[in-house]
Structure 1
Amino acid sequence: MSPEQYCFQKTQSSKSNFALGFLFLTKQKKMALTALYAFCREVDDIVDECKDYKTGKRRLDAWRVEIDRLFEKKPQHPVSRALLPHLSTYNLSKEYFLEIIDGMEMDLNFHRYENFKQLQLYCYRAASVVGLLSARIFGFTNKDTLKYAHDLGIALQLTNIIRDLGEDAHRGRIYVPLDLLDQFSLTEDDILSSKRNGKLTLLVKHLGDQANDFYRSAMRRLPKEDVRKQLPGLIMGNIYYALLRKVVSNEPDNILNISTGLSPIKKILVATTTFFGMSWIK
């Protein structure tokens, strides 16, 4: 199996909203983005699979060593071998790959976040950095596009956090900042026990408003001359925004106990309208 085939299988095994955006990429860009996403899956799977900190930390450290080898042009893992041809082509930064690993290590270290500042750092490492690397692969002429990619990444990760509130709670994880729980008179047990609580609706709406702010900021920052180049990311942004609206409109019990998603038809509709210049982000 070639490194490229390995990455393709890795990305195919997980349901991703990247898929529709791939339709608008050249073959080389598809290969680069597939390798990038396969890397993200590799390090994210470590956090999901490891039950103790030491094991997870050891495996993440092994990836730090592999990133060193990658940028010394001596990669060993199929994913890093697939990434190698694209580093110089798209000016992909070593620091960004290490930031992604740091984000995954935060998942090993932190099961709680005291405030939004802490959470935003996690969102930056887990999603904005991926967005910055993706933006380089998509292509841009105006550096303000990187500011767009940063804010869109925060928005996407906040959407994931809201959508997965119940699933994360079943794993003992609460990404909602503790000071925000206090603000809405909620306890950790209210989240972890999945109890009916009307205050949860207000909390989710507040989180949704925060995500909306980042979606809107991203769109304001995207230069017009780079809109077509960034189409794959825009499609994903609009799909996640539609998902956010659906999640926020849920009843509290559904938010904690039912996984919310968009139908394939809805995703295709969003992708098609985005292609023709419509933004779902309001």
Structure 2
Amino acid sequence: MTPDEYCQQKAAASGSSFYYSFLLLPPNRRRAITALYAFCREVDDVVDECQDPQVAATKLAWWRLELDRLYAGAPEHPVTKALQAVLGEFALPKEQLAEIIDGMEMDLRQTRYLDFKALSLYCYRVASVVGLLAAEIFGYQDRRTQKYAHDLGTAFQLTNIIRDVGEDARRGRVYLPIDELQRFNVPVADILESRYSENFRKLMEFQVERAEHYYDLALSQLPDIDRKSQRAGLAMAAIYRALLDEIKRDGCQVLNQRTSLTPIRKLWIAWRTWIKG
């Protein structure tokens, strides 16, 4: 199996909305974004699949060394070999890839966030940085597109947090800011024990409104000159907003179920968005 085939398999197996957005890209950009996505999946899986935090920390440390090897021209892993093949064409700073690992390490050290400011740092590292790297791969002419990519990454991560409240709680993690739980009178124990309430519904509606704000903010900042090149990101945004709408329509029942869209619907939304340009 070639490095590109490994990354393709990694991306397809995830069933992620991102994968469906990549399909319409030109081959060189699709190759690069698939390698980047596979890197994100590899380091994310370290945290999600390792039961022992020390083992996870050791594996993330290995990935840091692998980044050193990548930029020295001697990567060992299929994913970094695939990234090496595209570094000459796309500007993918080592520091930004390292920040993604920083975000994953936060999951090993921290299971609560006091306020949205604290959560924003996490969102930046695990999602906004990915948005900035993706924007480089998709291509842009106006530097304001970087701000769009940053805020769109935040919107994606906030959507993930909303969708995965119950799943994360079963891992002992609560990403909803503590001060907001207090404001809506939702004890942390209610999240951890999957107790749905009217207060919880109101809390989640507030979270949905904030995510919607970040989508609107991001899209308002995308210069017209870069709309065509950033169509893959716009397709992702359309898919994720459709997911957010489903969650909201369902009364934010995220404690005991994980809302998702069918592959056919994701592909349809991606194609429709791409055609609109």
Query: Would you say same fold, with TM above 0.5?
Result: yes
1:136 matched to 2:136: yes
In 2, Cα distance between the equivalents of 1:269 and 1:34?
20
- Deviation digits for residues 107-139 of structure 1 (CA, Å, limit 9, x no counterpart): 111111111011111111111111111111111
* SS of 2:140 mapped into structure 1: coil
Contact 1:22 1:232 survives alignment (8 Å): yes
Give 1:245 shift. 1.4
Q: Which residue of structure 2 lines up, in the alignment, with residue 69 of structure 1?
A: 69
Q: Which residue of structure 2 lines up, in the alignment, with residue 242 of structure 1?
A: 242
In 1, Cα distance between the equivalents of 2:134 and 2:2?
23
Which consecutive residues of structure 2, in runs of 5 or more, have no partner in the other structure?
Answer: none
Question: Any residues of structure 2 matched to 1:186-225 within 5 Å, and which?
Answer: 186-225=186-225
Q: Which residue of structure 1 lines up, in the alignment, with residue 116 of structure 2?
A: 116
In 2, Cα distance between the equivalents of 1:276 and 1:83?
29
In 2, Cα distance between the equivalents of 1:110 and 1:163?
20
- Deviation digits for residues 56-103 of structure 1 (CA, Å, limit 9, x no counterpart): 111101100110111111111111111012123111111110000000
Q: Which residue of structure 1 lines up, in the alignment, with residue 257 of structure 2?
A: 258
- Deviation digits for residues 126-153 of structure 1 (CA, Å, limit 9, x no counterpart): 1111111111111111111111000000
In 2, Cα distance between the equivalents of 1:114 and 1:2?
44
In 1, Cα distance between the equivalents of 2:62 and 2:23?
34
In 1, Cα distance between the equivalents of 2:196 and 2:207?
18
Give 1:12 shift. 1.9
Query: Counterpart of 2:146 in structure 1: which amino acid?
Result: L
Contact 1:87 1:93 survives alignment (8 Å): no
* SS of 2:51 mapped into structure 1: coil
Query: Counterpart of 1:186 in structure 2: which amino acid?
Result: V
Give 1:214 shift. 0.7
Contact 2:15 2:263 survives alignment (8 Å): no
In 2, Cα distance between the equivalents of 1:8 and 1:174?
31
Which consecutive residues of structure 1, in runs of 5 or more, have no partner in the other structure?
Answer: none
Question: Any residues of structure 2 matched to 1:1-282 within 5 Å, and which?
Answer: 1-251=1-251, 254-277=253-276
Contact 1:24 1:231 survives alignment (8 Å): no
**Structure 1 residues 6 and 263: CA distance shift in structure 2, 3 A:** closer
Report the identity percentage.
Answer: 49
Query: Counterpart of 1:89 in structure 2: which amino acid?
Result: E
* SS of 2:254 mapped into structure 1: helix
Give 1:249 shift. 2.3
- TM-score, normalising length: structure 2: 0.96
Of stretches 256-265 and 184-193 in structure 1, the one that deviates more from structure 2 is 256-265
In 1, Cα distance between the equivalents of 2:270 and 2:24?
11
**Structure 1 residues 83 and 228: CA distance shift in structure 2, 3 A:** same
* SS of 1:255 mapped into structure 2: coil
In 2, Cα distance between the equivalents of 1:238 and 1:13?
21
